[in-house]
Amino acid sequence: MKKISILSRLKNAGVIAVVRGKNKEEALNACHAIIKGGLTGIELTFTVPQADQVIKELRACYNDQLNIVIGAGTVLDAITARLAILAGAEYIVSPSFDDETAQLCNLYQIPYLPGCMTITEVSTALKSGVDIVKLFPGSAYGPSIISAFKAPMPQINVMPTGGVNLENMKEWFAEGAVTVGVGGNLLAPVATGDFDKVTEVAQQYAAKMAEIRR
């Protein structure tokens, strides 16, 4: 039931914020600002120094808020995946599919969302127990690729990441996305330390998500 519960919370979140940062403090501040803005999905990337410690602190901080789901991103191998899971990551996201990582996530009943760009890659991921495929980079295709993929494989669940923004988010969902990953313009104010602006943009994404679900 653990995996099913996490998948449900990922879907309910709707928008997953892909968080990068030049150090631990910056990443933590960005995550707090995003959650303050009303988004409940955080993907803390392992390009952040001490990423496992950031995940551990986030889980401790938001442990009583069951709607908030915190995972690890840019996970390139099973060793990193296990480190993230032991730190408290509730799901694992990779830029590409890795069978060893898929097996490890299955062992821990943790959802694995690998980056896929072709039907062959999607098929390989599904055979390894993947429940949600990360369409990455989404900007290489555009929203219509989801319905194109779903024509021969209607059972797939897709999370586009890269190229999703406030202007086209509704279209991604209309084409069949179960959730979307956003980074770019949501995290842009972090570069200047403007975390209030991050909260403001997060509020815009939360409002857009509420509008889409009406």
* pLDDT (0 to 100) of residue 25: 97
Whole-angstrom distance, CA of residue 107 vs CA of residue 204: 37
Largest CA distance in the chain: 45
pLDDT digits (tens, 9 = 90+) for 92-138: 999 999 999 999 999 999 999 999 999 999 999 999 999 999 999 99
pLDDT > 70 in the chain, percent = 100
Domains of the chain listed by start with CATH number: 2-206 (3.20.20.70)
pLDDT of res. 44? 98
Which listed residue (3, 26, 90, 134) is catalytic?
134
- Cβ contact 24:54 at 8 Å: yes
Write the pLDDT tens digit of every residue in 146-204. Answer: 999 999 999 999 999 999 999 999 999 999 999 999 999 999 999 999 999 999 999 99
Residue 1 — pLDDT band, cuts 50, 70, 90? confident
Where does the pLDDT of residue 57 fall: very low under 50, low under 70, confident under 90, or very high at 90 and above?
very high
Active site residue 121: no
Q: Is 43 a catalytic residue?
A: yes
Torsion of CA 88, 127, 123, 138, to 10 degrees: 0
Q: Of 178, 78, 73, which Cα lies nearest the Cα of 132?
A: 178
Report the alpha-carbon angle 144-146-75, nearest 5: 125
Whether the CA torsion 14, 18, 24, 28 is positive or negative: it is negative
Residue whose C-alpha is closest to residue 26's, from 157, 149, 189 = 189
What rounded mean pLDDT belongs to the chain?
Answer: 96
Q: Cα–Cα distance between 30 and 153 in angstroms, integer?
A: 37
- Among residues 43, 90, 175, 208, the one annotated as catalytic is 43
pLDDT at 73 over 90: yes
pTM: 0.97
